[in-house]
Amino acid sequence: MSDHATVCECEALPAATHPGDETLRELGLPGGGYIAGEWVRGPLTLEVTDPEDGSLVASVYQATTSDVDRAVGDVQRSLREERWELWERREVLERAADLVREEAPRLARIISAEGSKTITEATREVARTAETLRISAHSAALLEGSTLPFEDTARGSGKFGYYRRVPLGVIAAITPFNDPMNLVAHKVGPGLLAGNAIVLKPAAVTPLSALALHDILLRAGMPPRRMAVLAAGREAGSALVSDPRVAAVSFTGGPTTGDAIARLVGARRILMELGGNNAVLVCEDGDVETAAAGIVDGAFGVAGQNCLSVQRVFVHESQYERMLALITRDTDRLVVGSKKDAMTDVGPLISEQEARRVESWVDEAVAGGARAVTGGRREGAFYWPTVLVDVPESARIYREEVFGPVVFVEPFTDLDAALETIDDTDYGLQAGVFTASLTTAMHAVDRLHMGSVLINDTSDFRIDAMPFGGSKRSGVGREGVAEAVREMSEPKNVILNRMG
């Protein structure tokens, strides 16, 4: 057994007493956690279930606060004791990207089994994971730095120097359930390339994708003690982000949790992506057919559990009835069903509890005067794609991120008033504008306080290389590989004083 595959029996239990160990092996996973350079095989008490039918996918190790303390200490020692050159880090990420591509069918099955994604959506996520690792590997030049301009000031006479970017230290990476592998790659790819050590806390409901990617990184040559993976609850998560040895926290999730983390972290580096209440504006001269198709795809992909999902649609009154008919028609054509079926468009939400929450938000809006044109029903963890009209501004579904398969459509007459309405939210992640007029497009870009404004496209688009994040309550800083490499490193000046 290689160094990276050593096994930790955290309570010295014999192998036969580890429930769930066999299911992990069937998934190709060496253990249910990874701490201090060792795979953890017992006890495996945290059950990972398929939200589609509640069946057990596998069981993993549930980390404690003492595990967090040990993990942080060990990855920090790894930074001091194990030299890992930039070229070696680049090559590991390149090999990992290749392994992800080679093992795509297995990885897609893991993503789909533990989460909400259909097998088609999971396959796309695996491809993006490989892309994110590839881009990370090719970002090494961002760490090179530059010379310092001492000759530009009299005070610099006799001096020469440069700066280079160096790692921050230990990064706490906390990832959500909706993109359980690619969002891990977006944190660990740039973080490792920049030379950091990482303690990863994936969502407790979808830890298997993170463990699978960690195993691939180890097989690609990552030093065994450079990263830990802990499936853990709130107490252990709080211990992780509040640990003074953690130099920075990278978090993707909701703003309430983001606020709690910020209070614990204090005056340290924070990188957060906190979601959105994304809008699409369809002007009088917009391409209605293209807009309708994009809105349906953007609102209901991954059962609406996507920070870029389309939630609000504002259509010029001259196009409103046609647009509503097209959106309703295309929504009704979506296939709701098993994630395993390649013909399925919309699978379950991550849990029945979340489906009930979405149902309650829709019921609240309907009680306030809204009308469901289609959808509006739930079966277990499934919630049917729902199109609403006449939603009151007081409804949560108007003001907050629903994170479910619901979109509302509203007519407008005045462009500036519509732009003001779109911007009148605590969120500012992305927005889409459909228009044939460059003047209108640029006017919307100037007026909207968003991380991205997409012209003739919906909010539901990004490439993994672009700066990604939002304004206002949608986040702090930017992800996207290049931006994350910069956020997870810092400049270090070297100044030489010429003597004589």
**The sheet that has 371-374: what strands, in order across it?**
371-374, 386-389, 406-412, 310-316, 278-282, 430-434, 452-455
Between CA 232 and CA 62 the distance in angstroms is: 5
The first and second tokens of residue 247, run together, are: 């130099």
- Other CB atoms within 10 A of residue 294 CB: 24
Summarised one tens digit per residue, pLDDT across range 190-205 is: 999 999 999 999 999 9
Q: Which CATH class is domain 19-274+478-489?
A: alpha beta
Between CA 195 and CA 165 the distance in angstroms is: 10
259 and 272 Cβ atoms separated by less than 8 Å: no
pLDDT of residue 3: 39
The first and second tokens of residue 414, run together, are: 């005045």
Label residue 498 by pLDDT band (50, 70, 90): confident
Q: Is the dihedral of CA 414, 417, 419, 425 positive or negative?
A: negative
Cα–Cα distances (Å) from 49 to 30, 329, 350, in that order, read 19, 34, 10
Q: Where are the domains positioned within the chain?
A: 19-274+478-489, 279-463
Summarised one tens digit per residue, pLDDT across range 335-348 is: 999 999 999 999 99
pLDDT of residue 296: 98
Please work out, in degrees rounded to the nearest 5, the angle formed at the alpha carbon of residue 71 by the alpha carbons of 67 and 74: 140
pLDDT of residue 499: 75
Active-site residues, by number, are: 273
Note the CATH architecture for domain 279-463: 3-Layer(aba) Sandwich (3.40)
Residue 246 confidence (pLDDT) above 60:
yes
Which element (helix H / strand E) includes 190? helix 182-193
Summarised one tens digit per residue, pLDDT across range 256-306 is: 999 999 999 999 999 999 999 999 999 999 999 999 999 999 999 999 999
Residue 120 confidence (pLDDT) above 70:
yes
pLDDT of residue 15: 40
Label residue 497 by pLDDT band (50, 70, 90): very high
Residue 356 confidence (pLDDT) above 80:
yes
Helix, strand, coil content of the chain in percent (nearest 5):
40, 25, 35
Cα–Cα distances (Å) from 349 to 97, 276, 345, 382, 383, in that order, read 29, 18, 13, 6, 7
Q: Is the dihedral of CA 260, 262, 263, 264 positive or negative?
A: positive
- Residues of the chain above pLDDT 90, percent: 91
Summarised one tens digit per residue, pLDDT across range 446-475 is: 999 999 999 999 999 999 999 999 999 998
383 and 349 Cβ atoms separated by less than 8 Å: yes
pLDDT of residue 500: 60
The first and second tokens of residue 4, run together, are: 């990276």
Between CA 354 and CA 21 the distance in angstroms is: 29
